[in-house]
Amino acid sequence: MGLFSKDKKNKDEFFQSLEEDVQKSREESFMKLSDFSRQDSDRIEYLKTAFNIENKDKKDDNENTDSPLDSIIKKVSKDGEASKENVVYDEQSEPQNTPEPSTIAEQETKENKPDDNYFLISNDNISEDTEELSFSPENIQKPEKPVRKPSLLERCRAYTKDDNGNDVSANKKPLYELKSVSDILKNSEFDAVDKLSKKYNIVIQDETDKPKDIKIDIPKEENPVEAEPIKFEKLVEESKEAQKSDDEIFEEYFLEQNSEITEKITNESIPDISDVDNKQKISQEDIITPATDETVRFTPVGAKDKKYDIASITSTFDFNKILDISGDEKNNNQKINTSEFDQSEFEEIVCENEVSDFNSIRHLIKKLSFKKRNSFLASVISLICVLTVGIFFISPLSNLLLTDIKLTTIICLASLCLNIVVNFRIFVNIFTKPIKYITADLSAAVSSVFLITLSALQLKYCSLEYAEDVHNIIFLGSIILFFRALSQFWRYSSILGNLKQISSDKIKKKALSFIDDESVTFAMAKNSIDSDVLLAACRETDFIDDFVKYSDHNILFGGKFYIIQLVAFLLAVLIGLVSSIYYKDTISVFYCATAIICIFSLPCLYFINTLSSFHASKRLNPIGAMINGSMAAEKIERTNAVTISTSEIFPAGTIILKDLKILSDSNIDDIILRATSLTEAVNSPLHPLFKKIAKTTSDYQIPDSDSVKYEDRLGLSGWVDNELLFIGNRSLMMSHGIDLPDMEVDKRILNKGCFPIYLATVDKACALLVVEYVPIYEISKQLRNITNLGVTVLLTNSDQNINEEMISDYFGVYEDSVKIVSNAGNSMLKNAVTPTERISSPASFKRNNLSLLYILNAASSIKKSNLIFSVFYIVGTILLSTAFIYLGFASKSSVPSSGLLLISELVITALSLIIYLFKKP
């Protein structure tokens, strides 16, 4: 029995249907036979059934019983990794003897099988005379194989192999382990719970202490339904609920756990909008006062550990206090009163004669002028008294001290009394000022009393032994009173000069203002200062407050000068008592006591706070600046940063035009006028230069500018008369796409020590300016002095050629002591120093901000000068008093000579003045 029927008609119909079926299978199922499925095995079974394949005639074991179609099916099944066992055969058609795999391979080789992925069967392959189906390689169509591109991993294999061809990236242990976000949150949550429990004395119960009456039942869905898409409105509501604050969550839980409290809260007690809008009053019964000891049970959100599934917290605290996460407790009812903050003693001082308007300033000027004139006359009279007493040191008159003791004593006593009369304020100031604010007048008053007593005793006894010593002591006391009168003249002169700087109501004043706001100072300094920044800046104002308070607030030795005078008085009394026992003489007792008082009235004492302030006013008043006393100087000296503008260290005349080249056919006069307006808007150092050039034109009228912007180290850009203008260097022009001459032009200009400045419109370059910067020696000196003090200079800049390196090179300062302020810092500075009508300030000026450098240098010199005089006074009093006591009791013959004491005090005074001349303001 053959494979097919011999009826030709039926055979043609069969093969036509078979070809259609194979063509359809080729397009749909047999594109990739390597991915065979169960459906493919069923199709093979279908083909076998369609061909009615049967193996009824058994052949020998060594003979191949497979038909050509069976061979193709086996080949396809083998290459597609579909085992023969997966193909379901009919029990009757299953062959008894399965050919060997090697036999199948040889047969496939002999028959030159086509491509494994595609095959085609045609009617020409079947012979009419035979019952077997024959195939020929020529009749099989071989489709083209699709070209597969290599993957990224395959392309990277060449870079992951070593010299031996081994893959170094395979089977490598990862360098780190990525921790999931949930684990991180879980651990931080547990740490936070533990920390808060310790901070607030809260007990958290573990799983073993879990309350038995609390059960958590998680409902299970019997019939799960597919999740519906979440609407946007629902997501918004859920996000709002998730963003509730801790106070709202606690309040909701508190209301749920206390049913009795929730019943008391009614809609009537809840305001409509706010407590102010609610017209109904809340009764005291509706006010709920929670207990101080509450037990709260909660389940931490996201806690997966069983240890924190249920927690019971017991804590005792006041619910009326606000708790923050840091653990600090704040009373809700506590109100912060700014008056409770600590204030310095200086701020608490209230002066009765303080100036309040310009009329009171004019009245004070007249008063100070009168005092200045009186102090000058007192100084002259005091000097005459000193010369009168000192005339007896001349050899013709020196013999009168021994021959006519009474006459010389009367003359010296009269001169001393006259000197005390012209300095009568020394006694008034003792009783009018508080003890902390007593000046050196106390020392002058005490020494005057002792000198008059000693002179009266000498006049009474006319002791020849103490004639020269008494004369020397009176001469020393006259010198002390003279320096006291001179110090008052210095004081009133400086105060009057400073007051005149702020007396005009027609000129805007610039007050020295201190900025210690961290945000402003950080934006300006940008970590250029290691410590906290106290910035000195200027602020425009009309009136300066607290002038008299700053002027009169002259404290010696931190307000402890009265202790020094008390020690001096006790020591003088003690020395007098000892000398009365030792020498047994009344004059010697008062002589030793007066000598000790005069030692503690060393003339250096009267230079403190007066001489340095006098020289500072003489230096600052001609430039329209002033420092209001020694207290103001100490306050200013604490600053470690100062802000000025580059237009002030390069004023008009310091930027010189060397050359001007026209680069296009633009109207150069109009370009210069617009450049003048642009530089004036930002206070650029180039503005005086452009203004000087613009004045040479016939139509000198500067237009208005708008939207001016300075780009750091590039230049200016802005709109002038609705046209865009650029002023800057090559980098600015190139960034805006403007064509410029060759780079060699800039190099030649820079090699000559000059700077190129380009002027350009939106589409072309108009002109090239060659400028030179010439620093002024006086400004260089002030910058060097201020930077040597450790003060950082913060420059507000609008010139692309000026930077830290240039300032360091031109002015000879350290590069890290100068800092260019950023645009953000400049904006914050403008907001911090907005003009004001009145301000309390220790210093002020009327001209440019460069006066700030003079003020800071003068304040530092004032403090150093006062320190010099203070050191000389302390050291001098200690050395002289020790030497006098030692010499007085070393020999029993006589008291120490007053001549040595007089010379010592004059030498110490002269040395202090000589050293002061090198440090004076």
Summarize pLDDT for 608-619 with one digit per residue, the tens.
999 999 999 999
More confident residue, 71 or 360: 360
Q: How many helices (H) and strands (E) does the chain have?
A: 33, 19
Partners of residue 628 on adjacent β-strands: none
Within 13 Å and on the Cβ side, how many CA atoms surround 912?
28
146 or 877, which is more confident: 877
Q: How far apart are CA 828 and CA 533, in angstroms?
A: 15
Stronger pLDDT, 422 or 100, i.e. the higher one: 422
Q: What is the average per-residue pLDDT within 783-803? A: 93
Instruction: Round to whole Å and give the CA distance between 774 and 784.
Output: 17
Query: Identity (one letter) of the amino acid at 871?
Result: V
pLDDT confidence of residue 282: 41
Largest Cα–Cα distance in the chain? 182
- List, in order, residues 6 or more apart from 359 with CB less than 8 Å away: none
| Residue labelled with tokens 């000195």 | 536
Could you give the CA distance from residue 708 to residue 685 in angstroms, rounded to a whole number? Answer: 15
Looking at per-residue confidence, does 325 or 821 come out higher? 821
* Per-residue pLDDT, 318: 46
The Cα–Cα gap between 210 and 218 comes to 18
Place of tokens 């055969």: 89
In one-letter notation, the amino acid at residue 102 is S
Lowest mean pLDDT among 66-80, 619-633, 718-732: 66-80
**How buried is residue 689: exposed, middle or buried, by Cβ count under 10 Å (0-12/13-18/19+)?**
buried
Q: Which helix (H) or strand (E) segment is 24 a member of?
A: helix 8-28
- For tokens 């420092």, the residue is 627
Q: Using alpha carbons, list the distances in angstroms from residue 686 to 174, 689, 772.
A: 62, 5, 11
- Please name the helix (run of DSSP H) or strand (run of DSSP E) that holds residue 498, with its range, or none: helix 467-501
* 111-115, 121-125, 153-157, 845-849 — most confident range: 845-849
**pLDDT-derived band at 237, boundaries 50, 70, 90:** low
CA–CA dist 468, 470 (Å, integer): 5
Q: Which residue has the higher pLDDT, 852 or 318?
A: 852
pLDDT confidence band for 17 (50 / 70 / 90): confident
Confidence of residue 623 (pLDDT cuts 50, 70, 90): very high
The C-alpha atoms of residue 658 and residue 774 are separated, in whole angstroms, by 12
- In this prediction, residue 186 has a pLDDT band, given cuts at 50, 70 and 90, of low
Query: What b/e string do you get for 29-42 counting C-beta neighbours within 10 Å, with b at 16 or more?
Result: ebeebeebeeebbe
Is 763 a residue whose pLDDT tops 60? yes
Say what the pLDDT of residue 437 is.
79
pLDDT above 70 covers a percentage of the chain that reads: 63
Q: What is the pLDDT of residue 382?
A: 96
The pLDDT, as a whole number, for residue 701 is 83
Residue 389, pLDDT > 90, answer: yes
Is the pLDDT at 576 greater than 70, yes or no?
A: yes
Nearest-CA neighbor of 723 among 662, 663, 677? 677
The pLDDT of 197-224, averaged and rounded, is 48
pLDDT at position 234 is 53
Q: Does 50 score more than 70 pLDDT?
A: no
More confident residue, 771 or 847: 771
Whole-number Å distance between alpha carbons of 442 and 682: 55
pLDDT reported for residue 151: 65
Region 627-642: mean pLDDT is: 92
Indicate if the pLDDT at residue 18 is higher than 50. Answer: yes
Phi, psi torsion values for 884, nearest 5 degrees: -65, -40
Who's near 480: CB < 8 A, 6+ residues apart?
444, 447, 598, 601, 603, 606
d(CA 804, CA 820): 7
Q: Which pLDDT value is given to residue 535?
A: 92
Cβ pair 694, 703 in contact under 8 A? no
In percent, the amount of the chain with pLDDT more than 90 equals 43
pLDDT averaged over every residue in the chain:
75
List the one residue out of 500, 501, 543 whose CA is nearest residue 847.
Answer: 501
